[in-house]
């Protein structure tokens, strides 16, 4: 069975692109367009990794990351944060402590290789 990656982003074009890219790399891809939808999905299914946009309309990606880290069942789940904007201050410190990485959306072509190193090949 292939490894599952949950991608959380509110932009459908980004979700479509990540779905195509990660499926081509052999991963099973679950897509969520909202923080609330993603958190509900995480209560039902456990992926091998989460790719989390920091800027979400219904809750920030930081809040989603907090929810993941403070849920005993999800606490060890690898999370790669992504953002098109510069992240700094307390948000960056939190990401550095509780996520496995922060990737600029312009560099998402690197994601399949990072996943391979993080959770293994699909």
pLDDT digits (tens, 9 = 90+) for 2-34: 899 999 999 999 999 999 999 999 999 999 999
Q: Which band of pLDDT confidence, cut at 50, 70 and 90, is reported for residue 1?
A: low
Residues near 9 by beta carbon (within 8 Å), at least 6 away in sequence = 15, 18, 32, 33, 51, 53, 56, 82
8-85+98-107: in CATH 3.40.50.2300: yes
Task: Count CB atoms within 10 A of the CB of residue 43.
Answer: 10
Helix%, strand%, coil% for the chain, nearest 5: 45, 20, 35
Q: Phi first, then psi: what are they for 7, rounded to 5°?
A: -110, 125
Q: Give me 108's structure tokens.
A: 């998402």
Averaged over 47-57, what is the pLDDT?
95
């Amino acid at each position: 069975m292939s490894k599952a990656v949950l991608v959380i982003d509110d932009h459908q074009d980004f979700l479509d692109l990540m779905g195509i890219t990660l499926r081509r790399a052999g991963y099973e891809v679950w897509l969520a367009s909202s923080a609330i939808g993603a958190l509900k999905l995480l209560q039902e299914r456990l992926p091998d990794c989460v790719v989390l946009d920091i800027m979400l309309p219904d809750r920030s990606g930081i809040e989603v990351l907090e929810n993941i880290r403070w849920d005993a069942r999800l606490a060890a789940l690898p999370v790669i944060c992504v953002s098109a904007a510069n992240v700094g201050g307390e948000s960056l410190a939190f990401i550095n402590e509780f996520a496995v990485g922060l990737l600029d959306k312009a560099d998402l072509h690197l994601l399949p290789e990072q996943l391979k190193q993080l959770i293994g090949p699909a």
